[in-house]
């Protein structure tokens, strides 16, 4: 009885090792081929578009901030009313 238990543990370990090795190979092939599904490619394109929009918004905000700094720090001799 113990022999059958040991044999089943060995075969189970071999099957588990084959499953791990096989899935690793499949994942490696998918990564190498850039195997994103069409849905995944669409979501990546959407994410890229959103990042570009955020970047453009940050550029506009930076220009506005520079203009505000110029207005506030400009030593033109005008007095400001701080009410």
Matching residue, tokens 């040991």 = 6
This prediction has a pTM of 0.44
Sign of CA dihedral 72, 76, 77, 81: negative
> CA–CA separation, 80 vs 32, rounded Å?
63
Residue with tokens 């506009």: 60
Model pLDDT for residues 34-82, shown as the tens digit of each residue = 765 666 678 888 999 999 999 999 999 999 998 888 888 887 755 555 5
pLDDT at residue 31 in the model: 81
């Amino acid at each position: 009885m113990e022999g059958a238990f040991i044999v089943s543990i060995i075969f189970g370990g071999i099957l588990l090792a084959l499953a791990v090795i096989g899935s690793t190979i499949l994942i490696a092939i998918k990564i190498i081929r850039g195997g994103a599904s069409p849905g995944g490619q669409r979501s990546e394109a959407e994410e890229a578009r959103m990042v570009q929009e955020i970047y453009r918004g940050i550029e506009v905000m930076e220009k506005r901030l520079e203009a505000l700094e110029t207005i506030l720090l400009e030593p033109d001799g005008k007095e400001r009313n701080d009410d």
